[in-house]
Amino acid sequence: MVSIATRLGGFSFDNCLMNAAGVWCMTKEELAAVKDSVAGTFVTKTATLDYRAGNPEPRYQNVPLGSINSMGLPNQGLAYYLDYLLELQETEPNRTFVLSLVGMSPDETHEILRRVEASDFNGLIELNLSCPNVPGKPQIAYDFETTETILHEVFSYFTKPLGIKLPPYFDIVHFDQAAAIFNKFPLKFVNCVNSIGNGLYIEDEQVVIKPKNGFGGIGGEYIKPTALANVHAFYQRLKPEIQIIGTGGVLTGRDAFEHILCGASMVQIGTTLQKEGLAAFERITEELQAIMAEKGYEKIEDFRGKLRYMD
Ligand code: SIN
């Protein structure tokens, strides 16, 4: 009776849960494992034009309430992920998958997107405007002028279904300003949020990751309130054609329920997937369905975005 099926960017998925870019998505083997789990789909590791080794290790650390990472966009390069996705279009024509990408410069981003545009890829594309971990490269989406310029240029030639991965914003004025920009474009979705950038975790008087003297993106339980706030702030402000993916602090079915209540159409799991493995999808699916059954909700549209306020 209870369905957690969803639609995003015009495509249908039988489960609204999926991985967050960065977790279980570096290789074809990892992507295939997510595909064959109960997750509704997968997103690839953010692809740059060419292979990148990323930052020196150790660059990811689980910590009690979440994780800290400064991976530095290690990935196999666009062709690797695109080839795999094109292969899947032949073998799994009824499913839709997500390609995450960004260039190391605006020119490279355009080069990548032009290649995707020219390819036969017919899934969803997530442009990552929020990586906090490449030394010397700020998170693009914190610079509203650059973000608007990039989106303006992209939509002059790009016609495939595109969304953007956002960093968390922390100020109501920034929600307003960012939403006003995003509403100018035919985006299919925004994904809120990437890690909270440049946190510091200390153990025995020492940092726990090597790059950037220990500064890294924070994920997991620490970030749920920030993630929910961003999901809901954009749900309130964006035109209805721009859907929301909720990411951040999803440990349980209740967390996924809250993301949907705040307006998310799809929910991504990052740190919990890293810590628990693929079994997390099954557990969180069952927990979410149990909450919905208890409340008498049959589908996620019955409560999506219906967060109640106080009088
Ligand atoms: C990384 O590779 O550094 C993480 C990617 C991201 O946060 O966007």
- Of 26, 195, 209, the residue with max ligand 1 atoms within 8 A of its CB, to mutate for a pocket test, comes to 195
Q: Which two tokens stand for residue 37?
A: 């789990």
Q: What is the dihedral of CA 191, 193, 195, 197, to 10 degrees?
A: 110
pTM of the model: 0.98
Annotated catalytic residue, options 16, 25, 131, 262:
131
Residue nearest (by alpha carbon) to ligand 1 atom 8: 131
Q: Are 99 and 120 in contact (CB under 8 A)?
A: no
Q: Say yes or no to pLDDT of 6 above 90.
A: yes
Q: Tell how strand 189-192 and strand 162-166 pair up.
A: parallel
Taking CA atoms only, the protein residue closest to ligand 1 atom 5 is 131
Distance CA 2, CA 244 (A): 22
What is the pLDDT of the chain when averaged over all its residues? 98
Question: Known binding site for substrate: residues?
Answer: 45, 69-73, 128, 194-195
Q: Are 58 and 72 a contacting pair, CB within 8 Å?
A: no
**Within a 10 A sphere around the Cβ of 227, how many other Cβ atoms?**
29
Q: What is the pLDDT of residue 1?
A: 84
pLDDT digits (tens, 9 = 90+) for 204-252: 999 999 999 999 999 999 999 999 999 999 999 999 999 999 999 999 9
Atom of ligand 1 nearest to the CA of 74: 2
Query: How far apart are the CA of 257 and the centre of ligand 1, in A?
Result: 25
Known binding site: residues?
45-46, 69-73, 128, 165, 193-195, 220, 248-249, 270-271
- Is residue 262 among the annotated active site residues? no
Spell 232-257 as b/e; 16+ CB within 10 A means b. Answer: bbbbeebeeebbbbbbbbbbbbebbb
Q: Average of pLDDT values for 4-29?
A: 98
pLDDT at position 106 is 97
Q: For residue 22, how far is its CA from the centre of ligand 1 (angstroms)?
A: 6
**Residues forming beta bridges with residue 293, ordered by sequence position:** none
CA separation (Å) from 280 to 42, 46, 229, 262? 14, 22, 24, 22
- As a whole number of angstroms, the distance between CA 67 and CA 131 comes to 15
Q: What is the pLDDT of residues 111-161, one digit of tens each?
A: 999 999 999 999 999 999 999 999 999 999 999 999 999 999 999 999 999
**Residue 74: pLDDT above 90?**
yes
Burial (CB < 10 A; 0-12, 13-18, 19+), residue 193, is buried
CA distance 134 to 180: 27
- H, E, C per residue of the chain: CCCCCEEECCEEECCCEEECCCCCCCCHHHHHHHHCCCCCECECCCECCCCECCCCCCCEEEECCEEEECCCCCECCHHHHHHHHHHHHHHCCCCCCEEEECCCCHHHHHHHHHHHHHCCCCCEEEEECCCCCCCCCCCHHHCHHHHHHHHHHHCCCCCCCEEEEECCCCCHHHHHHHHHHHCCCCCCEEEECCCEEEEECEECCEECCCHHHHEEEEECHHHHHHHHHHHHHHHHHCCCCCEEEEECCCCCHHHHHHHHHCCCCEEEECHHHHHHCCHHHHHHHHHHHHHHHHHCCCCHHHCCCCCCCCC
